[in-house]
Homo-oligomer: A and B are copies of this chain.
Amino acid sequence: MLVIKTITELRKWRNSIKGTVGFIPTMGYLHEGHVSLVNLARKDNEHVVVSIFVNPKQFGPGEDYKKYPSDEKHDLELLEKFHVSVAFLPDVEEIYPPDFESKISVTKMSIILEGEKRPGHFDGVATVVAKLFNIIQPNRAYFGQKDAQQVAVIKKMVSDLQFPIAIKVGETIRQKDGLALSSRNTFLNEKDKKESTVIYQSLLLAQNLVNKGVRNSREIMTAMRQLIEKTSGKIDYISIADSQKLNEIENIHGDTLVSLAVYFDKTRLIDNCILKI
């Protein structure tokens, strides 16, 4: 595995190879969710590039940019073990030199749900992903369904701006107790680790209600809310929306996304599922 830190060196590698490239952008502190994307990419492509870059532009002022967890040694060992071709680890200055001033916005989709709670977040995501796309020039890029809105925003950007890249989505990987894997889980104390499984429980409850014939979004969200409020979790939002356009809907239909964000202490966890009808 090559470990590359500069755009120039990455470009040189890219121009030297033949065959297709699969790309997984990450912020590091890798877990089985990332590994599952690496495995998907390995099946489809001759080469797999994983970037590790904690992107300052997708964090708001009060957010956890400075304490975002990192473990470069463990990450590189993991990527080597799963036969990644290139680990791309640029510095912040390599991606954002001091005079950087370009921004990509997927305007409507970026200001709702996560975007309403985290202003500017998806502009930061879209901008860095576009730049990484242009640097790495992958044939396919892989994202986890856990970040459902990120997936929707990236798909929209790729379609709107016609990046010549196929976007592939890997399913959310969970612990046995249902908690979706996330680098941020490391911030949870023992009590919150247990209690936070209520997030997945609330998604199962939503599916259960649908199975019983419930179609009204408000009814489902109220039941989810009541379940979560039995714990110390503080709900940031619960949303039932069209899974592509992300506009909230009153009655669920065939392609409906339930998503939510819940705080346990200062740790904000997100999760979602597509309802089966």
Q: Using a CB–CB distance below 8 Å, which chain A residues touch chain B?
A: 7, 11, 99-109, 126-127, 130-131, 134-135, 137, 156-157, 160-164, 245
Contacts and interface: CB of A to CB of B under 8 A. Distances in A.
Contacts of A161: 102, 104, 127, 130-131, 134
A131 B102 contact: no
Contacts of A109: 101
A219 to B, nearest CB: 29
Given A162-B134, A164-B11, A164-B134, A157 B106 contact: no
Contact of A160 (B100, B157, B164): B100
A6 to B, nearest CB: 12
B102 A102 contact: no
Contacts of A134: 161-164
Contacts of A103: 104-105, 107
The 9 closest A-B pairs by CB, nearest first: A102-B160, A134-B162, A101-B107, A101-B108, A103-B105, A131-B161, A135-B162, A102-B106, A134-B163
A107 B120 CA distance: 14
Q: Point out which of A126, A130, A135, A163 has the most chain B C-beta atoms below 10 A from its C-beta.
A: A130
A102 B163 contact: no
A102 B126 CA distance: 10
A106 B127 CA distance: 11
Nearest to A160: B102
A11 to B, nearest CB: 7
